[in-house]
Chains A and B, each alone.
Chain A
Amino acid sequence: MIKVNKTKVQDTSAKYLFILCACLSVVAVFGIIGYILYGSIPAFREVGVFEFLFGDVWAMPTDTYGILPMILSTLVVTVMAVILGGVVGVFTAIFMVYWCPDKFHLRYKGKVKFLAKCVEWINKINLRTIFDQVIKLLAGIPSVIYGYFGMQIIVHNLATVDPDYRGYGALSTCIVLAIMIIPTVTSLTKNALEAVPEQYYEGSLAMGNTKAQSVFNVLVPAARSGIISALILGIGRAVGETMAVQMVSGGTANFPTGLFVPIRTLTTNIVAEMGEVQIGSLHESALIATGLVLLVIVLIINLSINLVPKEFKGKRGKKVLKGDKEAVIRFEKKGLIPEILKYFAMVCAALVVFALAAVILFILINGIPHLSAAFLFGTEPPSLVPAFITTGYMILFTLIIALPLGIGAAIYFVEYAKPGSKFVKVLRTFTDTLAGVPSIVFGLFGYLFFRPMFGHYSVLAGAFTMVLVVLPTIIRSTEESLIAVPMTWREASYGLGAGKVRTIFRVVLPSAFPGIATASVLAIGRIVSESAALVYTAGMVLVGTSTVAGAVNPVNPGSTLTVFMYSFFAEGLGFEEAYATAVVLLAITFLLNLIVFFIEKSVKKKR
């Protein structure tokens, strides 16, 4: 009789299971590229690759498809948005790290007890945390809300300066995109700045620099690779943004020749026409080919992060000194420019807070008057109940599939993978790539791959698509929490004779639970705010026909809250209910942020 070592079998099989989970990103990336490439072949064959890329007319009736205006519009708008949003984002981060005071230092000498209490209370607020939360909230607000905000506030105000009194076009798009990339740029820049060694600051101060001089001459340059990466990710985000751009860009495929020229970007081309497409037509293929071009652009941008040198390697060439023996060396006090930049950083930070306040106030003022019991809980359309049900299903099905896969992959990365091995590097690159894919491309993939499984739009098809969208987020934050589990605990468990699998499930995972919970909440946030990936997978039910009976079956098409909100715009209805929906979405976003905040706080307290 052969003795089988049970633990050993368990360990080996578990290992392969985890590897499989980790490889899913690779499969997904290849699947997405493959399917979209396959779908766009007819367009390239009929139209010709060159004519498709460099043609300047897009006309469905004559089957003429050229996307040059859209490529250029996308690039121009992105560059403008990154200059605007990038500068504000980077300087906001600089303010947050170096000048944001910890607390208010208000003083109150009057005798009114209530006021004294208030002042005491205000002084207890930790400003840095609040600022952090402001940035996170900005990042969490669904892009559809930014779309409505852009349409009603930015476009509306720009219309007064626009010669045609419309306001839609390149400038509005660029401003909306700038606001949307600020959180990405700010939080990543902040991480980069916080990683700069303290000694640089001391060293520079000891040479007689002021704080502002040290910050702008040493510390910010020392973080430059991180800041460049942050800007590149911002560019990727701007290129891939769909819904908000669709609502403010004007939609006509013009060359971006002026600030007020209505434009159409690559993403909006897909979302604007995919709904009326005939399945199997050249038109469909041309739209998928647009997606392919978009995907290629985004992949190139995101992969270029790897080219940014991690640390300063020295300049090229040899320096030959040509000292001037006669030169007058006279030291003077300087440092006006860094002082000015310091105040500029403060202005940028104020702008960001102002932007968030404007978006929130805009939604609350427009939405709260239309929040009625009938709308929130009624069964007659228009009602939010079907959207609630669909959103619930979406979260449920996505997490049921994505959580085990994501946690499995994270376990592989942390517990099994040899750090630095080629295989792991490849897996990681693919996970990062998956994280950078624009949601409209996920939508296209779902449209091509998951939707045909059901023969029509379906909430389940949407959920399958969302699994791919949230997978990188879950892997990343689970990984972080696993890394944070002290090595000694694992050693203790091995020392007691436990196998690897037992150690992982009994020791590592339970103590990483808060991190996994955070990962789930972040994933829920992403699912709630997503719209572009869902419109052509889970579908968009007409506002008038969305009923509870239809929403209860998850195989049916269904609109989540964000898609429901978007459909008011898409159908050209009044926006009252859309704003009311926005209030609900905002409340959910706020709640999710709060949950993450408290989980992280409780973890910090324990350590």
Chain B
Amino acid sequence: MFDFKKKEAFRSREKQNKQAGGNGLDVFDFSGDTAISVRDVDLYYGNFQALKKISMDIPKHQITAMIGPSGCGKSTLLKTLNRMNDLVEGCRVEGEIVIGGKDIYAKDMDLSALRKNVGMVFQKPNPFPMSVYDNICYAPRTFGIRAKGALDEIVERSLKQAAMWDELKDRLNKSALGLSGGQQQRLCIARALAVQPEIILMDEPTSALDPISTGKIEELCLSLRDDVTIVIVTHNMQQAARIADRTAFFLLGEMVEYGDTEQVFSAPKDKRCEDYITGRFG
């Protein structure tokens, strides 16, 4: 109960809040070209090492894809980027992940601030059992926005940004669970956009969807590129080739190859990467 370390972390967070103008959320500085910089990251689940010395820079306002066979660590790495791995018991991260000039694994990192700026879309669409409107308003409301005018504005803007405005403007009061799977997933993207994140992480967002919905989500990703940085984990190599600017290939917890998508798919430097892409295994 009397955890002094926690107290210290709390104090330094307070200080940051004051420096950042008091709202405690805009502690990140995204003016540089690199959105995320991963340095020598090792990750362990208990005794099992799931990530081995990963280092990569993810550029701003581009789409970065992570590919590789199941269990290669790509989803694990994605989850470390907004610290969703904290939920997993026995998970330990070593190394440094810098986002917007801050080490996100530092003791005084505020998870709310981090996750507000680094949103996430999951494999299975997970809209809340609320109306479409309330789903989008959910995060803004928890961040203190109450005025109706402002909320309405956010909903309209997010839905337009997610290219769903025409489909949904007449059914804002309907349950989000009544939408189709593809619509649910795009709603989740709209929901993540509502708090204006800088980065959106997508964990195999189309693996539960049909080809048409998948196409819509890919289009959406491309149109969002000017506003947000997207990191997408995908099982589908064609998808990575279609939308990603840069692609990273993972195998058994190691990052085997990372470069411009064209180069990775047309002239992979590593033999293992080539084998995977040409379909010799995986």
Q: Does A571 contact B (CB under 8 A)?
A: no
A492 to B131, CA, bound (A): 47
For residue A213, which residue of chain B has the nearest CB?
Answer: B142
Contact at A324–B149, with CB atoms within 8 Å? yes
Chain B: CB-nearest residue to A335: B142
Chain B neighbourhood of A204, CB < 8 A: 128, 138
CB distance from A11 to the nearest CB of B (A): 42
| A interface residues with partner B (beta carbon < 8 Å) | 197, 199-200, 202-210, 213, 217-218, 221-222, 311-319, 321-325, 327-335
Give the complex CA separation of A330 and B152 in angstroms.
14
B82 with A321: CB separation less than 8 A: no
Q: How far is the CA of A203 from the CA of B115 in the complex (A)?
A: 11
Looking at the complex, which one of A217, A313, A317, A329 makes contact with B150 (CB distance below 8 Å)? Answer: A329
Q: Residue B143 at the A interface, CB < 8 A?
A: yes
- Would you give 5 A-B contacts (Cβ < 8 Å), ordered by A? A206-B82, A207-B116, A208-B113, A319-B173, A323-B155
The 8 Å CB contact of A334, one of B143, B156, B178, is B143
Cα distance, A487 to B150, chains bound together (Å): 55
CA distance A311 to B113 in the complex (A): 32
B174 at the interface (CB under 8 A from A): yes
Cβ contact within 8 Å between B173 and A318: yes
Task: Say if the beta carbon of B34 comes within 8 Å of chain A.
Answer: no
Candidates A197, A209, A327; contact of B142 at CB < 8 Å: A209
Which residues of chain B from 130 to 178 have a CB within 8 Å of any chain A CB? 130-131, 133, 138-145, 147-150, 152-157, 169-170, 172-175, 177-178
Q: Enumerate chain A residues within 8 angstroms of B178, measured Cβ to Cβ.
A: 313-314
Given contacts A209-B112, A332-B25, contact A321 B152 (CB under 8 A): yes
Q: Which of B116, B149, B157, B175 contacts A331 (CB 8 A)?
A: B116
Residues of A within 8 A of B113 (CB): 208, 333
How far in angstroms is the closest Cβ of chain A from B12?
Answer: 15
Instruction: Name the B residues within 8 Å of A221 (CB-CB).
Output: 129-130
Rounded to whole Å, the gap between the CB of B111 and the closest CB of chain A is 7
How many angstroms between the C-alpha atoms of A213 and B172 in the bound complex?
24
Pick from B60-68, B117-125, B252-260 the stretch touching chain A: B117-125
Report whether A208 and B143 are in contact in the complex, using a CB–CB cutoff of 8 Å.
yes
Residues on A with C-beta less than 8 A from B119 are 206-207
Q: Which residues of B contact A331 (CB under 8 A)?
A: 23, 25, 116, 140, 143-145, 195-196
Shortest Cβ gap from A321 to chain B (Å): 4
Minimum distance in angstroms from B72 CB to a CB of chain A:
21
Residues of A near B156 (CB, < 8 A) are 321, 323
- Across-interface contacts of B140 in A (CB, < 8 A): 329, 331
From known contacts A213-B142, A312-B130, infer whether A333 and B172 are also in contact, taking CB-CB under 8 Å. no
Which chain B residues lie closer than 8 Å to A327 at the CB level? 147, 149-150, 153
Selected contact of A207 from candidates B22, B24, B191, CB within 8 Å: B191
- Max count, chain B CB within 10 A of own CB: residue among A205, A318, A333: A333
Q: Kindly state the separation between the CA atoms of A410 and B38 in the bound complex, as whole angstroms.
A: 59
Question: Which B residues lie within 8 Å of A314 (CB)?
Answer: 131, 173-175, 178
Distance between B170 CB and nearest chain A CB, rounded to angstroms: 7
**Which residue in A206, A319, A322 is a CB contact (below 8 Å) of B149?**
A322
A197 in contact with B126 given A207-B192, A331-B144 (CB within 8 Å): yes
- Which one of A203, A218, A222, A315 contacts B188 once the chains associate, using CB atoms below 8 Å? A203
> What's the minimum C-beta distance from A205 to chain B, rounded to whole angstroms?
7
Chain B residues in 8 Å Cβ range of A333: 17, 23-25, 110, 112-113, 143-144
Q: Determine whether the beta carbon of A323 is less than 8 Å from that of B188.
A: no
Partner of B129, one of A208, A311, A321: A311
Q: Select one of B116, B148, B152 contacting A208, CB under 8 A.
A: B116
- What is the bound-complex CA distance between A210 and B169, given in angstroms? 30
Q: Are A208 and B139 in contact (CB under 8 A)?
A: yes
Q: Does B267 contact A (CB under 8 A)?
A: no
Q: Are B87 and A202 in contact (CB under 8 A)?
A: yes
Chain B residues within an 8 Å CB radius of A321: 152-153, 155-156, 169, 172
Residues A323 and B130 in contact, CB atoms below 8 Å apart: no
- On whether A323 and B153 interact (CB within 8 A), knowing A202-B87, A205-B87, A334-B144, the answer reads yes
CB neighbours of B17 from chain A (8 A): 333
Q: Which residue of B lies closest to A206 (CB)?
A: B120
Q: Are B173 and A312 in contact (CB under 8 A)?
A: no
Min CB–CB distance B144 → chain A (angstroms): 4
* Choice from B127, B145, B175 contacting A329 with Cβ under 8 Å: B145
User: Complex Cα distance A359/B152, Å?
Assistant: 53
Q: Determine the distance from Cα of A325 to Cα of B177 in the docked complex, in whole angstroms.
A: 29
CB pair A329–B154 under 8 Å, yes or no, is: yes
Complex formed: what's the CA distance from A196 to B228 in Å?
Answer: 32
In the complex formed, the residue of B with least CB distance to A225 is B129
Decide if B84 is an interface residue (CB 8 Å cutoff). yes
Q: Which residue of A lies closest to B169 (CB)?
A: A321
Q: Which residue among A200, A203, A206, A314 has the maximum number of chain B CB atoms within 10 Å of its CB?
A: A206
Q: Point out the residue from A205, A210, A222, A319 that lies within 8 Å of B128, measured CB to CB.
A: A222
